[in-house]
Amino acid sequence: MRTVMVKPKIMRKLIQLLFLTLIIFFSCSKKIEIKKLDIIKYEINLSLDTLKKSLIIESKIIINKPDSLKAITFLFSDLAIIESLKQNNQEIKKYSHKNDTLRIDSISDNKIVLYVNYTLPLDSFENNGNITLTRPMRWCPFIYDDISSLSTTIKLPDDYIAFSSGKRLESELKANIYQTSNEINAGLPIIISKKDYYHNSTKHIGNLNINFHFHTNDSILVKSIINECVKTVDFCNEYIGDYNKEQLTFIEFPNAFYCQSLETFLLAGDGFVKYFKYPGMGFWVSHETIHQWIGSGYFVTIHKDNNLRWFIEESLTEYIRYQFIEEQYGKDSLQGQLEWAIDTYYKEIEGSEQDITIAQNEPKRVVYVIGPLIYHWIRIQIGDKKWQQFIRKLYSENYGTIINYQIFKETLFKYTNEKTIKKYEKWVQNKGIPNEIEKMVRP
């Protein structure tokens, strides 16, 4: 059995960059009040006009809303220039679009078909020749804490290609029209690039096709990342439950030092890609792949009742990564990860601005360092069999839905007792590593 060794200085640098990115990424999400508004489906038609240097978009949004809700507020980029706005084919004149929000007043119907026609300036979304559209950019009207179906039709010039979440459809239309369909959507990712930008390959795991798209020419690096992703998918299929889709896209994108795992779509910034070659720097591949089950298989509430959101999404994903390491390299490696977490807290976190409680629900390092230690303690309390049953049930019963802490807790309670739950609930309210956990790891 081999123990995974990590160089502290390199690990510290990458983790600091990771958490800085997470803070920036999640701070862009403003809270808006939504009263049970339900987006049923998006139908998006997008075309690229290279002469006018713009993206031309029509978003058809099918919505259910309660009688009591007279106005609808979306998150929507200030950069969008609205050409027309219609409700059930009737022009809407009373709306406001500012501060990255779109508010539509005097909505009377319960079921609404909203048509938003708009353009986006290409230079604001272009990156080294690529066009990257993701939810934090607010390129399409949306609300947090909602899932819907999504179909996209993307029309491009001859030398461009498009990548999106969901299943790629065989188009009967002319070439350079890309169509995808996604029954479960919460991320709205689209990447458009020149056709010669990416090197493409596919791996097959049962009925699942994993399509890899890399720009880097380092073939050894690419092979290593692909192998790590494939091994993680195999582990998750066996340990958590079979991946529920037939297609997963793994794509590198330029000038970025963050990763984002969306439903059926995993984006990896080129900064993370190049760091994979360093010893101990490959943790992000398995972590982001595991998110396809936790966080993008079932989703975790962002604004509605988001108590312990980071604990039930990020801390849990990171602990499952510990288990992946255990499965690959043995119990010595798991022990090494647990001890590394304790050392990291005392050497790098204690007394710093990162030293907060997990219950404060912020993207700080304690979520990724102390959170997994708490989950390991829970696993030891209930035993390996019940722990796996809990992880599998959380996935199988909630796939394609949004969960909150109450759902998480009720599921866990089926495999443990009130005493165990009260103990970890107390720990997440306090700073530092609980003595009981430290003694468990280092008797």
| CA nearest neighbour of 163 among 245, 249, 229 | 249
**pLDDT digit string, tens, across residues 254-283:** 888 888 899 999 999 998 899 888 877 788
Q: Give Cα separations from 221 to 225, 227, 261 (angstroms).
A: 6, 10, 20
**Which residue segment(s) compose the domain that 81 sits in?**
33-125+137-143
Over residues 294-319, the mean pLDDT reads 92
For residues 113 and 38, membership in a common domain is answered with yes
Tell whether 87 is covered by a domain: yes
10 Å Cβ neighbour count for 41?
15
Quote the distance between the C-alpha of residue 314 and its chain's center.
Answer: 10
pLDDT at 107 over 80: no
Pair 144, 29: CB distance under 8 Å = yes
Report the relative pairing of strands 81-87 and 111-121 from DSSP bridges: antiparallel
Position 135 pLDDT exceeds 50: yes
**Whole-angstrom Cα distance, residue 72 to residue 92?**
12
Residue 360 has pLDDT above 70, yes or no: yes
d(CA 328, CA 326): 6
Specify if 332 maps to a domain: yes
Q: What is the mean pLDDT of the chain?
A: 89
Residues 14 and 107 in one domain: no
Domain annotation covers residue 264 = no
Q: How many CB atoms lie within 10 A of CB 136?
A: 14
- Total number of domains in the chain: 2
Q: Name residue 50's amino acid.
A: T
pLDDT of 409 > 90? The answer is yes
Q: Evaluate whether residue 203 is within a structural domain.
A: no
In DSSP terms, 399 is beta-bridged to none
Which residue, 375, 374, 357, is CA-closest to 366? 357
Q: Rounded CA gap, 129 and 26, in Å?
A: 26
Average pLDDT (358-378) is: 97
What's the chain's Rg over C-alpha atoms? Answer: 22
Task: Judge if 19 and 50 occupy the same domain.
Answer: no
Angle of CA points 313, 342, 412, to nearest 5° = 35
Closest CA to 402 of 185, 166, 246: 185
Q: Above 90 in pLDDT, residue 326?
A: yes
Residue 313 sits in a domain whose CATH number is: 1.10.390.10
Same domain, 12 and 77: no
pLDDT of residue 258: 82
pLDDT attached to residue 89: 81
pLDDT, tens only, 56-96: 999 999 998 877 787 889 999 999 999 999 988 889 988 99
Strands (E), 24-100: 38-49, 54-64, 72-75, 81-87, 90-91, 95-98
The larger pLDDT score, comparing residue 128 to residue 440, is at 440
Q: Judge whether residue 390 has pLDDT over 90.
A: yes
Q: Are residues 424 and 360 in the same domain?
A: yes
**C-alpha span between 150 and 97 (Å, rounded):** 24
Beta bridge partners of 179: 153, 169
What span, in angstroms and rounded, lies between the C-alpha atoms of 406 and 386?
19
Same domain, 423 and 380: yes
Structure tokens at 253: 């994108």
Residues 327 and 427 in one domain: yes
Contact 194, 159 (CB under 8 A): yes
Asked if 85 and 17 sit in the same domain, the reply is no
Is residue 248 within 8 Å of 208, Cβ to Cβ? Answer: yes
Per-residue confidence (pLDDT) for residue 133, from 0 to 100: 92
Same domain, 15 and 90: no
Min mean pLDDT across 17-31, 71-85, 94-108 is at: 17-31
CATH (domain of 37): 2.60.40.1730
| Contacting residues for 92 by C-beta, under 8 A, at least 6 apart | 85, 86, 104
Q: Evaluate whether residue 22 is within a structural domain.
A: yes
Query: How far apart, in Å, are the Cα atoms of 209 and each of 179, 213, 247?
Result: 17, 13, 5
Token pair listed for 217:
């020419």
> Residue 198: inside a domain, yes or no?
no
Residue-level pLDDT at 88: 84
**For 192-227, how does the pLDDT look when each residue is reduced to its tens digit (9 = 90+)?**
999 999 999 999 999 999 999 999 999 999 999 999
Contacts of 98 (CB under 8 A, 6+ apart): 78
**Has residue 351 been placed in a domain?**
yes
pLDDT at 418: 96
Contact 173, 64 (CB under 8 A): no
Given this model, what pLDDT does residue 17 score? Answer: 43
Q: For residue 112, what pLDDT is reported?
A: 87
Same domain, 316 and 377: yes
User: Is 58 or 1 the better-scoring residue by pLDDT?
Assistant: 58
Same domain, 57 and 20: no
pLDDT band of residue 7 (cuts 50, 70, 90) is very low
Asked if the model's pLDDT at residue 8 lies above 50, the reply is no
- 3, pLDDT greater than 70: no
Asked if the structure places residue 291 within a domain, the reply is: no
Q: What is the pLDDT of residues 143-194, one digit of tens each?
A: 888 889 999 999 999 999 999 988 887 654 567 899 999 888 888 899 999 9
Q: 20: Cβ–Cβ under 8 A, 6 or more apart, which residues?
A: none
Residue with tokens 């690529």: 130
Question: Same domain, yes or no, for 20 and 121?
Answer: no
Q: Residue 228 half-sphere exposure, CB side, CA atoms within 13 Å?
A: 23
Query: What's the predicted TM-score (pTM) here?
Result: 0.89
